[in-house]
């Protein structure tokens, strides 16, 4: 199966492919709070490399979220570097800078890093960098690599990669799902990906406590006159319902669905008292740029950052950043 209509290998891929072919062991690395794109991409490439006789270690300083435990290989990630060879290559995927991988991977030197990503403003932090900002998911890029490596796309690989695509496109609903992305999805279904199971897990299965927190977050949401719909989930709220951080996936999307909302934002209090912020745009305002003002990043319509507490200060900084970009959009539209 080809990843797209042509058998040409895109420019940035050459070095990465050469490295994948010539080195013998790889450590798959995910960003913090891993999602379907980063885990699906990592497991798919891991399976492909193992089929070529390579050593593969999945390093994850987090738990695999419950709704992604159906993924092949999802019981294999380890929190230590046990078994990692001195010359192992670290494959960082789905992140624009190395620090998104968390403290445990800060020590990894550039010379040992492959960076495969689709975020705007990727820092090219690896020795080998393959970044395609036009792709909806890192999984699309990985599909091209798997095919170029000459590995056949097995049902397991296809399920991992379709999970990546479905996660980052909201089941092909968001604007990043263009005809190319949908075609890749179709080819993955033809290769045996279990689309129904993926959607059931990602979009139709929620914990009871997670639904309760969603209800509270919607109940306490605010809508500003200029179209910012935001809410806050504190550690106390999570504790009250016995909910987990991963239960909050849908909240920011539900806030954006409000008809008068241009930008939605959710502040999630982290264990250290800082706030992880998620932002979504209806399409006019660049929330990636707003996130960048706060030291984060992402995509035009979906972005995030971590902002220091206390809550009042974090909220003020967040609203100010969004309004900078709203003003920029208003100027551009004049
Ligand atoms: P989320 O709101 O967590 O679903 O993230 C939306 C998008 O923003 C994803 O592409 C993330 O990779 C990106 N993102 C979230 N948090 C950060 C951060 N602290 N720094 C950079 N990018 C982020
Ligand atoms: Mn991701
Ligand atoms: Mn992604």
Task: Kindly give the confidence (pLDDT) of every residue in the chain, 334 residues in length, as a single tens digit, with 9 standing for 90 and above.
Answer: 334 444 456 767 999 999 999 999 999 999 999 999 999 999 999 999 999 999 999 999 999 999 999 999 999 999 999 999 999 999 999 999 999 999 999 999 999 999 999 999 999 999 999 999 999 999 999 999 999 999 999 999 999 999 999 999 999 999 999 999 999 999 999 999 999 999 999 999 999 999 999 999 999 999 999 999 999 999 999 999 999 999 998 899 999 999 999 999 999 999 999 999 999 999 999 999 999 999 999 999 999 999 999 999 999 999 999 999 999 999 998 7
Question: What is the best residue among 304, 314, 318 to mutate for testing ligand 1's pocket, by most ligand atoms within 8 Å of CB?
Answer: 304
Of the bound ligands, which one is closest to the alpha carbon of residue 138? 3
Which ligand 1 atom lies nearest to the CA of residue 95?
12
Q: Are 304 and 119 in contact (CB under 8 A)?
A: no
Residue nearest to atom 10 of ligand 1 (CA): 298
Structure tokens at 266: 């959710």
pLDDT at 5: 40
CA of 132 to the centre of ligand 2 (A): 14
What kind and span of H or E run contains 34? none
Report in angstroms the alpha-carbon separations of 303 from 11, 119, 266, 281, 322: 27, 10, 11, 9, 11
Question: What is the best residue among 67, 270, 297 to mutate for testing ligand 1's pocket, by most ligand atoms within 8 Å of CB?
Answer: 297
Question: What is the best residue among 286, 298, 321 to mutate for testing ligand 1's pocket, by most ligand atoms within 8 Å of CB?
Answer: 298
What kind and span of H or E run contains 120? none
Residue nearest to atom 15 of ligand 1 (CA): 304
Of the bound ligands, which one is closest to the alpha carbon of residue 38? 2
**Alpha-carbon span 95 to 99, nearest angstrom:** 9
CA of 94 to the centre of ligand 2 (A): 5
3-state secondary structure of 206: coil
Report in angstroms the alpha-carbon separations of 200 from 40, 72, 101, 187, 194: 16, 16, 28, 20, 10
Report in angstroms the alpha-carbon separations of 164 from 51, 176, 182, 278: 20, 13, 13, 19
Phi and psi at 314, nearest 5°, equal -65, -45
Hunting for tokens 């080809």 — which residue is that?
2
The alpha carbon of residue 249 and the mean position of all alpha carbons in its chain are separated, in whole angstroms, by 12
3-state secondary structure of 29: strand
Q: Is the peptide bond before 29 cis (omega within 30 degrees of 0)?
A: no
CA of 198 to the centre of ligand 2 (A): 16
pTM flag (> 0.85): yes
Hunting for tokens 């992402």 — which residue is that?
298
pLDDT at 240: 97
Q: Which residues are paired to 14 by β-bridges?
A: none
Most distant CA pair in the chain: distance in Å? 59
pLDDT at 229: 99
Report in angstroms the alpha-carbon separations of 63 from 31, 84, 103, 209, 313: 12, 20, 15, 19, 30
What residues are in contact with ligand 1 under a 6 Å CB criterion? 100, 278, 296-299, 302-306
CA of 75 to the centre of ligand 1 (A): 24
pLDDT at 56: 98
CA of 289 to the centre of ligand 1 (A): 12
Of 334, 227, 210, the residue nearest 279 (C-alpha): 227
CA of 248 to the centre of ligand 2 (A): 15
DSSP state of 88: P
Q: Are 261 and 223 in contact (CB under 8 A)?
A: yes
CA of 167 to the centre of ligand 3 (A): 8
Per this entry, what is the length of the chain? 334
Question: What is the best residue among 302, 307, 314 to mutate for testing ligand 1's pocket, by most ligand atoms within 8 Å of CB?
Answer: 302
């Amino acid at each position: 199966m080809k990843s797209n209509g042509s058998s040409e290998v895109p420019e940035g891929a050459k070095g990465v492919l050469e490295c994948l072919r010539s080195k013998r062991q790889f450590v798959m690395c995910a960003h913090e709070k891993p999602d379907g794109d980063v885990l699906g991409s990592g497991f798919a490439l891991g399976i492909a490399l193992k089929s070529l006789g390579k050593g593969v270690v999945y390093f994850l300083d987090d738990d695999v979220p419950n709704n992604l435990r159906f993924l092949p290989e999802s019981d294999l990630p380890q929190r230590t570097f046990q078994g990692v060879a001195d010359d192992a290559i670290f494959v960082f995927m789905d992140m624009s800078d190395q620090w998104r991988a968390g403290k445990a991977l800060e020590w990894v030197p550039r010379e040992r890093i492959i960076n495969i990503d689709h975020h705007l403003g990727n820092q090219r932090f690896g020795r080998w960098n393959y970044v395609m900002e036009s792709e909806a998911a890192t999984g699309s890029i990985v599909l091209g690599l798997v095919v170029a490596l000459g590995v056949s796309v097995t049902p397991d690989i296809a399920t991992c990669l379709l999970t990546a695509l479905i996660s980052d496109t909201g089941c092909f609903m968001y604007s990043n799902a263009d005809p190319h992305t949908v075609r890749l999805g179709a080819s993955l279904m033809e290769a045996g990906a279990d689309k129904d199971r993926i959607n059931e897990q990602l979009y139709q299965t929620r914990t009871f406590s997670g639904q309760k927190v969603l209800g509270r977050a919607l109940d306490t949401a605010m809508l500003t006159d200029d179209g910012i719909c935001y809410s806050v989930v504190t550690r106390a709220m999570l504790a009250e319902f016995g909910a987990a951080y991963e239960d909050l996936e849908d909240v920011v999307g539900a806030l954006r669905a409000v008809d008068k909302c241009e930008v939605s934002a959710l502040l999630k209090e982290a264990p250290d008292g800082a706030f992880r912020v998620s932002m979504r745009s209806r399409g006019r305002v660049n929330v990636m740029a707003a996130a960048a003002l706060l030291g984060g990043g992402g995509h035009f319509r979906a972005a995030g950052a971590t902002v220091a507490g206390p809550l009042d200060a974090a909220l003020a900084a967040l609203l100010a950043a969004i309004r900078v970009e709203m003003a920029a959009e208003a100027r551009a539209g004049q």
